[in-house]
Chains A and B, each alone.
Chain A
Amino acid sequence: MQTQTHHKPCTSPEIGGVGHSLRRVEDARFLQGAGNYVDDVNLPGMLHMAILRSPVAHAKLVSIDSSAAMELDGVLAVVTGELMAQHNLAWMPTLSGDTQAVLATDKVRYQGQEVACVIATDRYIAEDALRLIDVDYEELEPITNPQRSLEADAPLIRTDKEDVTDNVSFTWEAGDKDATDAAFAKAAKVVSIETHYPRSHPSPLETCGIVADVHPATGKATIYMTSQAPHAHRTLFALVAGLPEQNIRIISPDIGGGFGNKVPIYPGYVVATAASLLIGLPVKWVESRTENLISTGFGRDYYMTGSLALDDNGRILGLRTDLLADQGAFYSDAQPTKFRAGLFHIVTGSYDFDAAHVTAKGAFTNKAPGGVAYRCSFRVTEASYLIERLIQNAANEIGMDPAEFRRMNFIQPEQFPYTSPTGFVYDSGDYETAMQMAMDMVGYDELRAEQAAAREEGRLMGIGMASFTEVVGAGPAHTYDIAGLKMFDSAELRVHPTGKAILKLGVKTQGQGHETTFAQIVAEELGIPATDIAVMHGDTDNTPYGLGTYASRSTPVGGGATAMVARKLRDKARKIAAHLLEASPEDLDWEPGKFSVKGSPDSSVSIQDIAFAAYTNHPEDEEAGLEGVHYYNPPNMTYPFGTYIVVVDLDPDTGVWTVRRMVAVDDCGVRINPMIVDGQIHGGLTEGFAKANMQWITFDEDGNCIGSNFMDYLVPTAWETPRFELGETVTPSPHHPIGAKGVGESATVGSPAAFVNAVIDALAHLGVTNIDMPVLPDRVWKAIHNA
């Protein structure tokens, strides 16, 4: 596909189709404090739930005495694992085919695990009652890293599984071992790296929560929930709780950020629903920040080794990587079933070579479970980080400029569609154009000259680059499913008689602006002004089935469904137009908003008139109405890419590094709303910077979570966050209906390596080859002094 510097809109600003930076329709309610988040849902008679969590990381659960808690005024129930077990709900399936304790029955396996729940008339009373519950634990050795977990004498964490004798959660491989061995055998040079991509937490500003309302007379369960995937969650609720699916309505109202954190089903949701069912009143549970950070789905925690085989000229011959995943106590990663390490095998990145082999193993530890794809398409972030760090180190080792090394090894535009050594078929790309744009924007050659002079003066500065390729938009149904549900998505479009429309989606925004951008897709395809189209999502009773929003799949999959359903209606509109214009359908020309008779442009009919006729004067051989639904099964994934360049200044006395410049050139195909795309990139770059600079979750040797609040778990404020300079190229996806690729995660995927490469570039001449993230000042200082 031809790469352009930007996409020119085909519709007028009044129609507001693809390419217009429309202001967001959802903003009006948020600006006036009229959003409706889960914690804003209050129902008559509603009760409140609080959760008692384990203070220790690994222990036998000896006894729970809740009698004193039950005596407190306002307490209706104390739910324990024993009670849940009576209803066969003490355990639940995870998204990765494991089981997870809802409330502990046998052991606690991580600090913060759910032990008991209090249901009370008020949250303050519920919290008071937690302190009156007496739990007797018999402590066991906590395992706080996967290396210890795999030792022969390590205590067994999953004693709940009859046939399990070790702490291995999964093993997996991809690529071709023999071909990779052969590539390494003939290599002139091998460059290796060993690094830890540390545990992090998505920590959206709104924590997770639920209001469960099971009606005692009808049995209808209306569940307001912080859900990125309401339809899939309804099905899982039906399977877990044994409730008839038609009696479950999941409403995911306004969501205060997700970033993967709101993909899994958490124990609190299950207990609140069960409590509402048993008591007959609505039950609310909203996490505290500490609950969110210590118990819900984390991201990353991969120990990675990687090696590149190079020939004499610096051409890459092959890549070998081995991974060890710290899984926590239950294997509850959210990812497609067939891919136990997610889509990590995109690790060959933007580079053209023949052989790659990936091996991976997961280990249980006494930490919170739930390796979610934190603003990333299933481990693509870890993969991108590893290859881009390897590229930097390889260039350094052979004494070549990292940009030149990339240029020499890039997949070339004429090679697309490109089949990667691990089996992906990249749809389109032009990596060198994006890289050159970033280099021109930042003034690359001048910076290199400045760097050389600075080294003479003993001043440290670094220029770091990352040229990432993502794989997003899961995905084709033949390959991708979650818990057996194929990863298609859907859109239903109803054009009303007055020409206004409502679009109902299977995907669900958490702030990405779907109510604006998906209306723009319809505007593009039907010529109905975007402002005349209401977008509805997140309510399973009123939207078609879909797998939800994560892994940058809304635009690639839900956006495809939206374009396709609009095209279905356009086909029908053509027949109605032919009827109105007394012409044959083939003799009509379409332009956004109207059909006209070929050769007589004055003889035309607008989409609004066609919509009216669909209900008042439709052709006799057509059904009435202008409504439709489409379930879109994408033919392939999409492959956004870009180049990020970071310039840092580094103080050798303190190890502190500061970002002087950050240039980001993204190519996400056609941009539906450029303003919103830029906003997504800003946010992603900030999260990438955060992980490179400060943001991680650690545990002490007893398994206490360090980072259980925003004073210990550092997320960047406006003061630390660097300024960003954005550029774009546009290489449309050839298979996507509107050529879009998805963008929500590119910047989080691509940027961490650019920041770290900049620090390494500043120190490489001293012999420093790696510092793990977060690149904290003390780590930098030690690296300088140990070099």
Chain B
Amino acid sequence: MQITINVNGTEHTADVEPRRLLVDAIRSDFGLRGTHIGCDTTSCGACTVLVDGVPMKSCTMFAVQADGASVTTVEGLKQGAELSNVQKGFAQEHGLQCGFCTPGMMLVSTALLEENPDPSEDDIRWAISGNICRCTGYVNIVKAVQWAAAQNGGEEG
């Protein structure tokens, strides 16, 4: 099937089997390798991307379901030449170790801050609870999101 997906502002077309997973289209057909596969069962969130702004686990979504949609991956997080505040927050607060969960974590965090610019710690923990990190114990991921929220607030204020 012929599909067209706007990924990070660029239109990509591909001829895919109906069963092809969105994550495989993103990684193999579109060549964007920042989206990772961790569990194949929607459990770990390493493959999280934003589909029309909503966090989706791309290992359990068919590419054809994203036909016509706008997808944001980790490669699309930068604001021009600069890292986004979420990206900066992860670096500042040591919110990543091996880096494998990081793209998914940053995408759900970005979506959270869009919806709730001033989240509590519980809000953050709940928002990232569909994403597994095996390295950090989540402590510094929470701090990273708080850091980004503070920066965003500062800019608006």
Contact = CB atoms under 8 A, between A and B. Distances in A.
Contacts of A676: 94
B147 to A, nearest CB: 12
Given A32-B77, A32-B78, 4 more contacts: A27-B99, A205-B100, A206-B38, A718-B142
6 A-B pairs with the lowest CB-CB distances in the bound complex, closest first: A33-B34, A511-B98, A30-B99, A256-B100, A710-B43, A682-B137
Contact of B38 (A23, A31, A289): A289
Given A205-B101, A682-B137, A717-B129, A31 B43 contact: no
A719 B127 CA distance: 9
Interface stretch (A35-43, A324-332, A593-601): A35-43
B87 A33 contact: no
B106 to A, nearest CB: 7
B17 A124 contact: yes
Given A35-B34, A682-B140, A683-B136, A511 B87 contact: no
Nearest to B89: A31
Contacts of A29: 99
A27 B96 contact: yes
A41 to B, nearest CB: 9
B128 interface: yes
A684 to B, nearest CB: 8
A200 to B, nearest CB: 12
Given A40-B33, A718-B138, A721-B138, A32 B94 contact: no
B97 interface: yes
Nearest to A27: B91
Contacts of B113: none
A679 B139 CA distance: 8
Interface string A684-726: 1111000000000000000000000111000101110101100
Contacts of B35: 33
B33 A679 contact: no
B91 A24 contact: yes
B130 interface: yes
A31 B90 contact: yes
Contact of B96 (A31, A37, A710, A719): A31
Interface in A191-235: 203-207
B38 A709 contact: no
A255 interface: yes
Given A710-B44, A710-B132, A721-B137, A256 B98 contact: yes
Interface in B6-28: 17, 19-20, 27-28
A431 interface: no
A278 interface: no
Contacts of A24: 91, 94
Contacts, number: 166
B94 A710 contact: no
B39 interface: yes
Interface in B85-115: 87, 90-92, 94, 96-103, 106
Contacts of B32: 33
5 contacts: A34-B34, A206-B36, A683-B135, A684-B137, A717-B128
Contacts of A710: 39, 41, 43-44, 132
Interface string A1-33: 000000000000000000000011011111111
A23 B41 CA distance: 34
Interface residues of B, number: 56
Nearest to B76: A33
B75 interface: yes
A564 B117 CA distance: 49
Contacts of A67: none
A204 B135 CA distance: 8
Contacts of A32: 34, 74-75, 77-78, 83, 87
Interface of A: 23-24, 26-35, 37, 39-40, 42, 124, 203-207, 254-257, 259, 286, 288-290, 510-513, 675-676, 678-679, 682-687, 709-711, 715, 717-719, 721, 723-724
A679 B91 contact: no
A205 B48 CA distance: 14
B46 interface: yes
B71 interface: no
B94 A718 contact: no
A204 B125 contact: no
A168 to B, nearest CB: 34
Given A31-B106, A33-B35, A709 B41 contact: yes
B73 A33 contact: yes
B134 A257 contact: yes
B137 A26 contact: no
B77 to A, nearest CB: 8
B97 A679 contact: yes
A530 to B, nearest CB: 16
Interface string B26-56: 0110001111111111011010000000000
A512 B94 CA distance: 11
Contacts of B130: 717
Given A31-B102, A33-B103, A205-B101, A257 B94 contact: no
A226 B39 CA distance: 16
Contact of B139 (A255, A290, A682): A682
B100 A37 contact: yes
Contacts of B131: 717-718
A732 B137 CA distance: 26
A255 B98 contact: yes
B29 to A, nearest CB: 12
A26 B134 contact: no
Contacts of A679: 94, 97, 135-136, 139-140
B75 to A, nearest CB: 5
B5 interface: no
Best-buried of B87, B134, B142 by chain A (most CB within 10 Å): B134
Contacts of B36: 37, 39, 205-206, 256
A715 B132 contact: yes
B133 A205 contact: yes
Contact of A205 (B19, B73, B134): B134
Contact of A719 (B20, B98, B126, B135): B126
B30 to A, nearest CB: 12
Nearest to A26: B99
A206 B100 contact: yes
B141 interface: yes
A511 B135 contact: yes
Contact of B92 (A23, A124, A682, A687): A23
B87 A31 contact: yes
B91 A717 contact: no
A60 to B, nearest CB: 31
B139 A724 contact: yes
A512 B99 CA distance: 10
A724 B91 CA distance: 20
B134 A715 contact: yes
A14 B35 CA distance: 35
Contacts of A34: 34
A292 to B, nearest CB: 9
A23 B91 contact: yes
A514 to B, nearest CB: 11
Contact of A254 (B43, B87, B99): B99
Contacts of A719: 125-126, 129
A510 B134 CA distance: 12
A257 B34 contact: no
Contact of B33 (A33, A204, A257): A33
A289 B41 contact: yes
Nearest to B105: A718
Best-buried of B28, B75, B94, B99 by chain A (most CB within 10 Å): B99
Contacts of B133: 205, 718
Contacts of A685: 137
